[in-house]
Structure 1
Amino acid sequence: MKLPPEITYRNVEKTDAIDTLVNEKIAKLEQVCSYISSCHIAIEKIHDRPRSGSPYRVRIDITIPPGHELVAESNPAEGIQYEPLDAVIRDAFDAARQQLVKLTQRQHESGKSVSREVAQETTALVTKLFRDRGYGFLKTLDGQEIYFHSNSVLHDDFQRLEVGTGVHFYLEQGEEGPQASTVKIVDKPGVRAGKSDRALIEPPLDWRE
């Protein structure tokens, strides 16, 4: 995702359980589409004691290149009174996922999906890490330096990264230049695969810069 997801809570207490659920659902959206530009989730309580319907509303706004915007909202109406918040969140994300699947299928069928750069997996090494700020830089095997955010690292593995860690990623064009998405750990420089004498990733000559 080009920008970190934005999650806002209005008149709703943020709990670890709800935060975990939302982030799990965001990760599943990224499995459907790896080139989401941005995602904003608004979770709010609009009534304390509604006569009918649910007191909660969840709205999800997603932008997809080259300029698509998807909106999914869940606010259970009459007959579904006091549906728990987690159920409303799941309904909203299910609706968002269905829209995302249809859009990516249309893009694929029309040949107007992401550029070849985005679709092609690339290999690189971590050269700089700023853990307290949640981002770092990769260097591709041809020497190109690429920015990445902690949210782009799969399986919550950002804390496992070290300078010199080998990764695979997809290249995207962000507002400030190329950046990495869907970053996946592969190995460390020089680490061997089984009994093979060949390193999984051969570091570029100047990777330590």
Structure 2
Amino acid sequence: MTPIEISFHGVQHSEAVEARIREKGEWLHRFFDRMTHLRVVVEHPHKHHNKGSEFAIKIDVGIPGKPSLIITREANNGNNQQAVMVAVNEAFDAARRQLLDITDKMSGNVKTLRGGKSP
């Protein structure tokens, strides 16, 4: 399995959040085992860009032959650990959905309108 790199920037480290990230990272790897790297950052977003957001979860997934997949989700409830956990879950769910689309395209299973074939 690809090692999961986890970092906390501008926020206090949380064992519970790190454990959830590792759990979700292993889940994502079972779904898409070709990833070349998995980096997750828990950070305090820049206030002028994200008013009211206390935490941002950023996931960077390396895909062979493609640009990295970057997912960001925010938690807006202050230091509420439950809100951070929800943001972690949402970020990994979004990553899975996008990886599913990428996997379909890589295998030639591209969705088209009205059942027609893609070019």
**TM-score, normalised relative to structure 1:** 0.44
Aligned length: 104
2:92 paired with 1:108: no
Give the aligned partner of residue 11 of structure 2.
Answer: 12
In the superposition, relative to structure 1, how do residues 14 and 81 fare at CA in structure 2: closer, same or farther (>3 Å)?
closer
Is the 1:57–1:75 contact (alpha carbons within 8 Å) kept by the matching residues of 2? yes
How far apart are 1:15 and its partner, in Å? 2.3
Give the aligned partner of residue 30 of structure 1.
Answer: 29
Is the 1:60–1:73 contact (alpha carbons within 8 Å) kept by the matching residues of 2? yes
Of Structure 1 and Structure 2, which has the larger fraction of its residues in helix? 2
Of Structure 1 and Structure 2, which has the larger fraction of its residues in strand? 1
Task: Measure the CA separation in 2 of the matches of 1:55 and 1:37.
Answer: 30
Relative contact order, higher structure (CA 8 A, sep 6+): 2
How far apart are 1:81 and its partner, in Å? 4.4
Displaced runs of 4 or more, over 3 A:
80-83
How far apart are 1:68 and its partner, in Å? 3.4
Give the unaligned 5+ runs of structure 1. Answer: 111-209
How far apart are 1:70 and its partner, in Å? 0.6
> 1:86-134 deviations in whole A, cap 9, x for unaligned?
1111121111111111111111226xxxxxxxxxxxxxxxxxxxxxxxx
Q: State percent identity of aligned pairs.
A: 26
Q: Which structure has the bigger radius of gyration?
A: 1
Task: Measure the CA separation in 1 of the matches of 2:72 and 2:17.
Answer: 17
Task: Measure the CA separation in 2 of the matches of 1:41 and 1:101.
Answer: 19
Q: Calculate the aligned-residue CA RMSD, in Å.
A: 2.4
Give the aligned partner of residue 53 of structure 1.
Answer: 52
Give the aligned partner of residue 160 of structure 1.
Answer: none
Secondary structure of residue in 2 paired with 1:75: strand
Give the unaligned 5+ runs of structure 2. Answer: 110-119
**TM-score, normalised relative to structure 2:** 0.74
Task: Measure the CA separation in 2 of the matches of 1:24 and 1:95.
Answer: 16
Task: Measure the CA separation in 2 of the matches of 1:88 and 1:47.
Answer: 17
Task: Measure the CA separation in 1 of the matches of 2:36 and 2:46.
Answer: 32
2:90 paired with 1:91: yes
Is the 1:47–1:56 contact (alpha carbons within 8 Å) kept by the matching residues of 2? no
